[in-house]
Structure 1
């Protein structure tokens, strides 16, 4: 196999890899070797993997090849190599959550999603970098060097599933596991020109993540955490979710039904489209500042829904900005006693924004008011979705910005909080509705912009069908970043002034 052929193999969709391995046209050892070679060549610049496990991955691929040679059945992910976000438990593989407090933590069990990936024939390449405990939408933590965007390495890939997004965009595995409590699949998908789907709350079970009271920081976000996929194609998203989704009694929020045929929904959208659906389009939700370039790109992309036969209406949903309520909801689900003990011990090494968050003097009234605000949002959302099948918005209010900062200080001339740019993501996180970020296009400076599609409660199949139809109308997966020698790029357009944050990097994981 020539170097060019091996490189092309790294960008094969997971659907094609699994089919070729199952048919014995391709060896899982060849696939894994090709991807590991590319990781070795490209990842020193990007920092997608904080704990790669090449020897273990090669051994898993060799074992799978032996089993297939003996005539054993191939699983739906046969030979598919993938990264696992460093917030997701992996038995025998270091899981740090991006925090100095857990720099040497090695779980004794896999998360349910990792169990299912391994059982389906997937090969784990290692752990992908994340922000500390997931409490940031950027791409850096105090333990490892920051992850960089494959399209422009001076810029962030977004977070907190930063490494998973950078890996998939750069051809370091066709898919990766990530999580999304507030925006952490959708924003990296937007910044890295990927598909990032947060399925409905409970579709993909979460355990022991968010549930294990022994580990402060790892045991929060229970009522908003969603596990899902970062991929280059909608079909790959459907394939991975067909493996990950389904009830499990260990997760008390698990939806006790398997009523979505994920792959069939994607096939139907690609083949038949989505004509007749009612789409509510909101460029700013009535309260968010949006970079003019992002507004332009998403506005043009929304035209695809009209072309597909949908009925599109611009709306102002009418709910209040839930940003403060979201932060309080997360706080109420955090082990504050445990986290404050970690701050007492490791605070000088931890992320400054996280230390400030954990040591703030929260009041009971703030926390209970947040629950009432969440209920009000859910009721307003239910009213909107009774009239429409989908809500479409930008995914992020800005394009990618420089590595090492939390966010822009100004958007479209307005001074903003450093997380205002992720405000489009909070509503679906708080209501638990399915949402996907799809590539919308590029700014005039060539930076990726994402479009968010939110479906009705538990209407995951509709969201996947629409995503697949949109992909046919506006394809993107043929584009590849020049990872390794990519142009450095510039900051997201229309914003000025960046907040620097402490790095405290201690070197790459082994």
Structure 2
């Protein structure tokens, strides 16, 4: 665009054409904004003609998760109660991408308030995985991942309170980054006390990019990161995002010698055999042999924190407000969320959860003294049927429907940076993700290693075998 080989209008029209062709199959966008996108593209094109710098994201079309507030654009959070909610202000990250010249394509589908790692909610049809539309793309940033995988823009915004950027990135063959806690500020999400359901997850919520490449994720993070007084947890960026990605891609030898701890099950998680095989092979052949990292199997040593994670979510939820919503219209809410709200949570549940969190943070810190990164599978399974919250068995073992995301939320509890990148594909062609967790605030190490892995074993050329619907089908 800067060289005038293409205009923002041409790019936006091409993506909107693609949306019209394939999104009826996917349900990635719950509130598309094509007219707004075209108007913004024309303004950016005029700016380019006048020699005005369009910004680092000038003319780049992207989707915005429906948990993130967008001024003047419906933001439902996947909830019937907010079906007509139109915010009066943008989320901080929305402010930043628009100021950087991005073009909003619309809002992408999510589970209700993000309380499930899928694209299921009572308001819109289930989002589907572009690699196989019978399957789930994961979530809760389901629409953002499905959109990017299907070519509906090169990047999208997601949020990650326990897995919701990394898990859908893994199931859709993409890059998903959960930066260190506070690197990317959050507001009004998690912090607007007037909005029950929207106002939870404060100490574990992160916002991050879902993209096709590490370089694109770094570019988006360079725009998103940096403190804001509206988020009391926000911290200075202090990260050369773009430089770290470039160094890893152009000089992958710089990661040689990194000490890598590898855990294929964290000591307690059932894992699909294909996922285990793909990740183990990728770490051995790419990270160890090609990149020269020192790989050592580890067992982290903390017990499964799933119960504590659930209690921390509820401790940061507006239970009074959400229980009132359920009392009025439980039939309009996700059944699993209603059941969660009606559990007899006690003060001891919440304080026990905090003690478990502290023990996990301390154990992780001791592990990371001897390792630069911890690598795990991103999810315990590849994509599963789109109408499920998760499989009830993994490797033949009965599990809860959230067990498949068990690799993800430890890094939310500790606040450490984590990224998911494609590790390979199953025998049936489904993506498998590999998660890299860095030391406290070591975002550059995570980005650099991810970029080096991408350089050694590129993935962005692989596209899902989507067959577009006809114009007549799309109009219906």
2:287 alignment partner, one of 295, 300, 305: 305
Cα distance in 1 for partners of 2:325, 2:143 equals 24
Cα distance in 2 for partners of 1:22, 1:212 equals 39
Aligned counterparts, 1:413-452, within 5 A: 413-452=396-435
For residue 98 of structure 1, report the CA deviation from its aligned partner: 0.3
Q: Tell me what 1:275 maps to.
A: 256
Cα distance in 2 for partners of 1:251, 1:378 equals 22
Provide the secondary structure at the position in 2 that maps to 1:481: coil
Cα distance in 2 for partners of 1:484, 1:80 equals 24
TM-score with structure 1 length normalisation?
0.90
Q: Does 1:81 align with 2:64?
A: no
Cα distance in 2 for partners of 1:327, 1:428 equals 14
8 Å CA contact retained: 1:197, 1:237: yes
How many residues are treated as equivalent by the alignment?
466
8 Å CA contact retained: 1:220, 1:330: yes
Provide the secondary structure at the position in 2 that maps to 1:406: coil
2:457 alignment partner, one of 474, 487, 491: 474
2:302 alignment partner, one of 299, 319, 323: 319
For residue 25 of structure 1, report the CA deviation from its aligned partner: 2.0
Q: Which is further off, 205-214 or 62-71?
A: 62-71
Unpaired runs of 5+ residues, structure 2, are none
2:191 alignment partner, one of 207, 211, 226: 211
Q: Tell me what 1:405 maps to.
A: 388
Cα distance in 1 for partners of 2:5, 2:218 equals 23
2:267 alignment partner, one of 286, 293, 296: 286
2:3 alignment partner, one of 11, 20, 23: 23
For residue 474 of structure 1, report the CA deviation from its aligned partner: 1.0
For residue 446 of structure 1, report the CA deviation from its aligned partner: 1.4
1:262 alignment partner, one of 234, 241, 256: 241
Cα distance in 2 for partners of 1:284, 1:485 equals 38
Cα distance in 2 for partners of 1:58, 1:439 equals 33
Cα distance in 2 for partners of 1:457, 1:23 equals 40
1:148-175 Cα offsets, whole Å, 9 max, x none, are 0001000000000000000000000000
2:467 alignment partner, one of 484, 496, 507: 484
Q: Tell me what 1:223 maps to.
A: 203
Cα distance in 2 for partners of 1:246, 1:78 equals 20
For residue 485 of structure 1, report the CA deviation from its aligned partner: 5.3
Q: Tell me what 2:333 maps to.
A: 350
For residue 139 of structure 1, report the CA deviation from its aligned partner: 2.0
For residue 74 of structure 1, report the CA deviation from its aligned partner: 2.2
Provide the secondary structure at the position in 2 that maps to 1:51: strand
Unpaired runs of 5+ residues, structure 1, are 1-20, 487-507
Provide the secondary structure at the position in 1 that maps to 2:332: coil
1:462-487 Cα offsets, whole Å, 9 max, x none, are 1000000000111100011122359x
Provide the secondary structure at the position in 2 that maps to 1:183: coil
Aligned counterparts, 1:4-19, within 5 A: none
For residue 385 of structure 1, report the CA deviation from its aligned partner: 0.5
2:376 alignment partner, one of 385, 389, 393: 393
1:235-275 Cα offsets, whole Å, 9 max, x none, are 000000000001111110001x2310100000000111111
Q: Which is further off, 474-483 or 201-210?
A: 474-483
For residue 73 of structure 1, report the CA deviation from its aligned partner: 1.4
8 Å CA contact retained: 2:21, 2:468: no
Q: Tell me what 1:499 maps to.
A: none
Cα distance in 2 for partners of 1:421, 1:482 equals 25
For residue 437 of structure 1, report the CA deviation from its aligned partner: 0.5
Q: Tell me what 1:9 maps to.
A: none
Cα distance in 2 for partners of 1:120, 1:473 equals 31
Q: Does 1:236 align with 2:219?
A: no
Q: Tell me what 1:104 maps to.
A: 84
Q: Tell me what 1:189 maps to.
A: 169
8 Å CA contact retained: 2:219, 2:241: yes
For residue 447 of structure 1, report the CA deviation from its aligned partner: 1.1
Cα distance in 1 for partners of 2:14, 2:328 equals 42
8 Å CA contact retained: 1:139, 1:404: no
Cα distance in 1 for partners of 2:233, 2:263 equals 30
Cα distance in 1 for partners of 2:214, 2:280 equals 21
Supply the RMSD in Å over aligned alpha carbons. Answer: 1.1
8 Å CA contact retained: 1:45, 1:484: no
Q: Tell me what 2:347 maps to.
A: 364
Cα distance in 2 for partners of 1:426, 1:403 equals 22
8 Å CA contact retained: 2:7, 2:45: yes
Q: Tell me what 1:250 maps to.
A: 230
8 Å CA contact retained: 1:100, 1:346: no
Provide the secondary structure at the position in 1 that maps to 2:390: strand
